[in-house]
Amino acid sequence: MGRRAEDAGDRRSQGDDAAIVDVALVGAGRIGLPIVRNLVRAGHAVIAYDVRDEREQDVRAVGATWSDHVTGALVLLTVLPGNPEPDPEAPV
């Protein structure tokens, strides 16, 4: 388990009622979901969200929690689409 996850475990055992989340990730799609999976495998508590509701089942299947809001995460990752790449063949 990563050091941050151990720290979170220490805080839980000290009676902190607030849920400790190591990582919150917004954008659990084609690129974000594998990141969520690897973070969970590394022992991190992960909450993830994506605008497509059908991703909830995938997030839960890899062992993360699904939520549309997060408080208290140690790290927030966003994996969001950028602007479309310009077509190099398009007239200027």
pLDDT at position 33: 97
| The pLDDT of residue 84 | 80
Helix (H, G, I), strand (E, B) or coil at 47: strand
Q: Is the overall model pTM greater than 0.75, yes or no?
A: no
Does residue 18 carry a pLDDT above 90? no
What percentage of the chain exceeds 90 in pLDDT? 57
What is the rounded average pLDDT for all residues in the chain? Answer: 83
C-alpha span between 63 and 48 (Å, rounded): 10
Whether 26 shows a pLDDT value over 60: the answer reads yes
Q: Which residue has the higher pLDDT, 67 or 13?
A: 67
User: Rounded CA gap, 71 and 13, in Å?
Assistant: 19
